[in-house]
Structure 1
Amino acid sequence: MPALMLMPDPLDPSWIVHQQGDLLVFNKPAGLLSQPGLGPELADSLISRVQACWPQALLVHRLDRDTSGLILVALTPALHRALSGLFAERQVQKRYVADVHGVPDAAEGLIELPIAKRQHRPPLYGVDPVGKPSCTVWRCLDTAADVSRLALEPRTGRSHQLRVHLQALGHPILGDPLYGPLDAPLPSTRLHLHAAGLSLVHPASGQQLVVEAPIPFQLPAS
């Protein structure tokens, strides 16, 4: 008897924040994979839902499951190659917002620490002298009690880079089950990390494209 094919959950139209020709930009919610994982329990993902509407859709880049925010999807292989090239050449400016434990000593800074994988299941990364070079620019936007809101610009695209770098800085992200303090009370049921902005030159039009997604969580008061 053939295996039962499960249809993906429907795509929420409100997740589409921009559409220009063969380019789609989505605001992925926290808790949803960017692409399917191994096993039926990890079959649901943003791109699975998108492909139910646009079967030709190709994911350009990814966000962690627990991170919300902007993701680019191409509807043609040519645009997918062009956009992937922009990411590889670091021609896409990415802006994140995170709420972290504690208040940094400075108003802004640069984290340049190499990152390597430490375990596979679940994937876990850490600072390692033999890891891949990684760079994150940060700036403090606001503070409340013993938490801070930071603007983050990753100059490299390592897995879990922002989460690992902020842990190494001594200010792990609120709600982080992998890199946060084990005894810290969770401010909510989600990771306080959001891909809030993307800026790039559209490969087809040659025009600057800037998209933003509002922050879906509040800075805790305590």
Structure 2
Amino acid sequence: MTFEILLKRRDFIIIYKPCGMSVHKDGAEVGLTELIARQLGVAQVWLVHRLDKVTSGLLLLALNAESAAALSRLFAEHRIEKTYLALSGQKPKKKEGLIIGDMRKVRNGAWKLCQGRENPAITRFQSVSCEANLRLFVLQPKTGKTHQLRVAMKSLGSPILGDVLYGKNDSAFDRTYLHAARLQFEFNGETFDVFAAPQEGAWWRKASVLAKMAEKPFLGNAQISV
């Protein structure tokens, strides 16, 4: 498998991770980092953040141990801004705002948003109607909790299309419609702002969704890859 490389520097690369590809081995003989190392012809690359298996989009990987430590620190300190796109068939309780709450693990590997705020997950969101029973969401996580965005969407009453863990009767969809679209950060004195549109999924290609994405009010000066 060959990955699309959207940006390459001496210390890191940003690739497009397809949906359905795990960042961990998951029992596979060869994992994602090893595949990328082979593609680049290097001994090793370093994973500095993660995307769920069902999530497509931008994945940043370090090319040496020093940059891996520095980039991991930027993620830990929330100095790398991430923007996701999601689709839902349900209207949210409110169109935009913040979702804040502690997360507690429940059955079947799922998580639940709670009212407590001891160590809360924080997500900023906005949404727009594409057509009847279809909304586009722009999600910006301010923390990095497991399944944070999927749980946040469920808490709004708008589970992500195709999310069989947090939605209902969604197995008919061709994917979970969550996509890591944009990364913004500063590293070694240089500012980076990269965007990639989702490539897989019939619902991303709906005319009404493409029209709303084309407005791109959330992109600013992103270096756009489509």
TM-score by length of 2: 0.82
SS at match of 1:116: strand
Change in Cα spacing, 1:149 to 1:45, as seen in structure 2 (3 Å) is farther
In 1: Cα distance, 2:142 partner to 2:163 partner: 22
Residue 17 of structure 1 aligns to which amino acid in structure 2? Answer: L
Residue 70 of structure 2 aligns to which amino acid in structure 1? Answer: A
SS at match of 1:49: helix
Residue in structure 2 matched with residue 95 of structure 1 by the alignment: 83
Residue in structure 2 matched with residue 50 of structure 1 by the alignment: 36
Residue 167 of structure 2 aligns to which amino acid in structure 1? Answer: G
Residue in structure 1 matched with residue 211 of structure 2 by the alignment: none
**What's the CA shift for 1:44?**
4.5
Residue 114 of structure 2 aligns to which amino acid in structure 1? Answer: D
In 2: Cα distance, 1:26 partner to 1:16 partner: 4
Residue in structure 2 matched with residue 73 of structure 1 by the alignment: 61
Counterpart check, 1:198 vs 2:188: no
Residue in structure 2 matched with residue 36 of structure 1 by the alignment: 25
State the identity %: 33
In 2: Cα distance, 1:22 partner to 1:198 partner: 16
In 1: Cα distance, 2:146 partner to 2:198 partner: 22
Change in Cα spacing, 1:44 to 1:78, as seen in structure 2 (3 Å) is same
Q: Given that residues 94 and 156 in structure 2 are in contact (C-alpha distance below 8 angstroms), is that contact kept between their aligned partners in structure 1?
A: no
Residue in structure 2 matched with residue 114 of structure 1 by the alignment: 102
- 1:140-191: CA deviations, max 9, x gaps? 144211110000000100000000111011000000010011x3463x3100
SS at match of 1:90: coil
SS at match of 2:44: coil
In 2: Cα distance, 1:191 partner to 1:184 partner: 9
Counterpart check, 1:140 vs 2:136: no
Match of 1:164 among 128, 138, 151: 151
**What's the CA shift for 1:92?**
0.5
**What's the CA shift for 1:48?**
2.6
Please, which runs of 5 or more residues in structure 2 have no aligned partner? 209-226
Q: Given that residues 174 and 192 in structure 1 are in contact (C-alpha distance below 8 angstroms), is that contact kept between their aligned partners in structure 2?
A: yes
In 1: Cα distance, 2:129 partner to 2:12 partner: 34
Counterpart check, 1:210 vs 2:193: yes
Match of 1:189 among 170, 174, 178: 174
More helix by share: 2
Please, which runs of 5 or more residues in structure 1 have no aligned partner? 1-9
Paired residues, what number?
201
Change in Cα spacing, 1:84 to 1:146, as seen in structure 2 (3 Å) is same
Counterpart check, 1:176 vs 2:163: yes
Counterpart check, 1:26 vs 2:11: no
SS at match of 1:81: helix
**What's the CA shift for 1:108?**
1.2
SS at match of 1:80: helix
**What's the CA shift for 1:79?**
0.2
**What's the CA shift for 1:50?**
1.1
